[in-house]
Amino acid sequence: MKNNTYCIANWKMCLNKRESINYIENFLKFDLSINSAQIIICPSFPSLDSISSIKQNEIEFGTQNISEYDKGAYTGEVSVSMAEELNCQWSIVGHSERRKFFGDSNDIVANKMNQIYNSSLNPILCIGETLDERQSGLTFNILEKQIDNAFSKVDFSINKNVLIAYEPVWAIGTGISADIEIIEENMNFIKNFIKKFDGKNCNICLLYGGSVDKDNALEIYSLKEVSGFLIGTSSLNPETFYSIYKQF
């Protein structure tokens, strides 16, 4: 077991409130003290209040997205202070589905990171290249750009735990994770690139995401730079999610 390990569920828009409550009630029946991996659940906004108020110490909660604005006339948005009120400690930012379907540019991601930095939340920053970008040999450029932009507006005097999830877009939701060599190569690249933030007050851990399941988790976790996972599909069932968590 590594020093800090994270097992994060991204439920996307898959579970409604009733299903989310059932899930947590079932999940809490498992022994969550078998290891010290931090479990973070990121439900949809309407479920957050009910499930984050179910008494438990083993689980932390996060949002899947957050507004780039503080407050005001921004129809449909949810601010950092609203998330804080619902017991959230984390927020996913820059997920590829936000980038692809909702126009979250690197600039918007920078604003969202800034909001998160100025709140009690900690960021789970998602980065990753598309298949086209990979085939054009642009992976490293894309990762550099996504990281640089995401941190471009943050105040580094604020102490944060930052999770960077490397999620190759072409591996998300496909059922086939990236090859271990590719994950290793890109993780090493990211690890080196973020050395420039050393001494800047942020404690960065790297995660992998993209079709993680109970059969590939252990091998990916064995990579030196991988401190855990951001899991979509395999987090939607409490048994399956637990079967990954218990391998740490």
Determine whether 167 is an active site residue: yes
Instruction: Determine the size of the site formed for ligand PGA (CB under 6 A).
Output: 13
Within 13 Å and on the Cβ side, how many CA atoms surround 175? 0
Q: Which of residues 23-42 bind ligand PGA (CB under 6 A)?
A: none
212 makes contact with ligand PGA (CB under 6 A): yes
* Contact pick of 169, 232, 241, 245 for ligand PGA (by CB under 6 A): 232
Name the residue with the smallest CB distance to ligand PGA: 232
The residues facing 183 across adjacent strands are none
Q: Which of residues 108-167 bind ligand PGA (CB under 6 A)?
A: 167
160, two tokens = 């944060």
Using CB under 6 A, which of the segments 28-36, 39-47, 132-140, 224-232 binds ligand PGA?
224-232
233 makes contact with ligand PGA (CB under 6 A): yes
Phi-psi region of 236 (alpha: psi -120 to 50; beta: other; left: phi over 0): alpha
161, two tokens = 């735990």
Cα separation, 216 vs 121, in Å, equals: 30
Q: Report residue 245 CA to chain centroid gap.
A: 15
Write out the E strands in the chain.
6-10, 38-42, 59-63, 88-93, 122-127, 160-166, 202-209, 228-231
Count of CB atoms situated within 10 Å of the CB of 155 = 10
Catalytic residue of the set 68, 97, 129, 167? 167
* Contact pick of 26, 100, 136, 173 for ligand PGA (by CB under 6 A): 173
Cα separation, 19 vs 17, in Å, equals: 5
Determine whether 25 is an active site residue: no
* Contact pick of 66, 124, 231, 244 for ligand PGA (by CB under 6 A): 231
Task: Give the residue with the Cβ less far from ligand PGA, 46 or 173.
Answer: 173
The set of catalytic residues is 95, 167
**Residues of this chain that bind ligand PGA (CB under 6 A):** 10, 167, 172-173, 209-212, 230-234
